Amino acid sequence: MAKMNFGGVEENVMTREEFPLEKAREILKDETIAVIGYGVQGPGQSLNLRDNGFNVIVGQREGKTFEKAKADGWIPGKTLFSIDEACQKASIIMCLLSDAAVMSVWPKIKQYLTAGKALYFSHGFAITWNDRTGCVPPADIDVIMVAPKGSGTSLRTMFLEGRGLNSSYAVYQDYTGKAMDRTLALGIGIGSGYMFETTFQREATSDLTGERGSLMGAIQGLLLAQYEVLREHGHSPSEAFNETVEELTQSLMPLFAKNGMDWMYANCSTTAQRGALDWFPRFHDAVKPVLEWLYLSVKTGNEAQISIDSNSKPDYRDGLEKELKALRESEMWQTAVTVRKLRPENN
C-alpha cells in the first residue's frame, strides 16, 4: 500500500500494480462470492468478477431483473439463484441492493451470516445509520466495503475498455483477520482503478453530500438557473442550452478532466479566462453556505431518514416516475433531445 500526496495531504492508496489480479485470485480462490441484487451496481460488479475468473454467483428475486441476469449469461440453478440460496452458498455476500431494499431483505440475509463469512457493501448507508435501517451485523463476520466512484454502468464500460473506475475501500469489522485482504482482492476483482482508504461513515456522508451537491442536485439547479435566465432575457432554447450544457459537457469537461481547471482556463479565450476568474469566488461564496447546510443535514442523519421514509412508501416508484417525467419533459431537457440528434456522430 502506497502513501500518495494529494494536495499536500498523504493518503493510503492501493493500485493494480501493487495488488495485481493474480494476487486477488489467490486470496479468493476458495471463496464463493454471491452478488445480491442486480440493479445499479450488481451487473457491473458481478460481470467484471466473472470475467476476471472469480467464483461468483448472483442472488435475485424472480421477475424483470432476474430475466436481465439470465440475458447476461447467469444460469438458473448454476450461477443464478434466489436470494436465500445464494446467501446460503456464499462465503462472501455482496449486498448490492438499494438502501431501501437492504432494509426489507436484511432479515433474510442476516440468517445466513454465519461465523467467518464476509458481508460486503458498496455504500456505507445501511451500516452508518443502522440505528435507522436496522442493519446490525453479527460480531463473528467480516464487514467490508468497496465503493466505486461512479455507476455500475461506468464500472462495466471502463472495464471493457481496459480502464478502471476509482473506488474507496473500508473495513468496518475484521473477525477473521483477513478482512483487508478480502476487501482489496474484491476491489481489484470488480475492476477498480486505484483504491483509496475511507470509513463507512465517511463514505456514506461524502456520497450523500456529493449526490445532492455537485454530482447531481447542485449541477441540475445551476444549469436550470442559467438556462432560465437566458430564456427570460430573450435567448432561444438552442442558444441557451448550448451555452449552458452542451459546451460544458462536450468541450470544457474533457479539458479539465484531463489536466485540471487551470489547463482548461489556459485553453479558452482571454475574455473567458478573465470572467471565470472574477466570478468563481462569487459563486463559491454564494454556494458554500448551502453546501454546509447540506453536509449538516447528511451528518445528522436527516437526509438518511428522508430517503428511508420516501423509499419505503408503497407508491414510491410511481411518485419517482412522475418527478422524473416532469424533469424529462421540461423545455431544457427536451431541447437536449434535439441537440443530441444534431451532434455530428449522430448524422
Say whether 51 sits in a helix, a strand or coil: helix
CA distances from 81 to 89, 120, 241 (A): 10, 18, 46
Q: What are 277-293's pLDDT values in tens digits? A: 999 999 999 999 999 99
Active-site residue (options: 123, 233, 235, 284):
123
Please provide the CATH number assigned to the domain covering 210-346: 1.10.1040.10
Please provide the CATH number assigned to the domain covering 2-198: 3.40.50.720
Section 179-195 average pLDDT: 96
- DSSP for residue 200: H
Record the cell numbers describing residue 130, joined without a space. Answer: 443502522
- Taking the C-alpha atoms of residue 249 and residue 244, their distance in angstroms, rounded to an integer, is 9
Confidence of residue 344 (pLDDT cuts 50, 70, 90): confident
Mean pLDDT of the chain: 95
Q: Which of 9, 4, 56 is nearest to 35 (CA)?
A: 56
Say whether 157 sits in a helix, a strand or coil: helix
pTM, whole model, 2 decimals? 0.90
Question: Is residue 320 predicted with pLDDT exceeding 80?
Answer: yes
Instruction: Give the pLDDT of residue 273.
Output: 95
Q: What are 98-136's pLDDT values in tens digits? A: 888 899 999 999 999 999 999 999 999 999 999 999 999
Q: Name, in order, each residue with C-beta under 8 angstroms of 72's C-beta and a sequence gap of 6 or more.
A: 43, 47
Q: Where are the domains of the chain?
A: 2-198, 210-346
Q: Which of 188, 20, 176 is nearest to 91 (CA)?
A: 176
**Site of grid cell 455476500:** 93
| 56, containing H or E segment | strand 56-59
Confidence of residue 46 (pLDDT cuts 50, 70, 90): very high
Say whether 79 sits in a helix, a strand or coil: coil
Amino acid present at 271: T
Record the cell numbers describing residue 234, joined without a space. Answer: 430573450
Contact 184, 24 (CB under 8 A): yes
Question: Is residue 10 predicted with pLDDT exceeding 90?
Answer: no
Q: What are 139-178's pLDDT values in tens digits? A: 999 999 999 998 899 999 999 999 999 999 999 999 999 9
Instruction: Give the pLDDT of residue 57.
Output: 98
As a whole number of angstroms, the longest Cα–Cα distance in the chain is 67
Q: What are 215-272's pLDDT values in tens digits? A: 999 999 999 999 999 999 999 999 999 999 999 999 999 999 999 999 999 999 999 9
Catalytic annotation on 123?
A: yes
Contact 96, 90 (CB under 8 A): no
- DSSP for residue 41: S
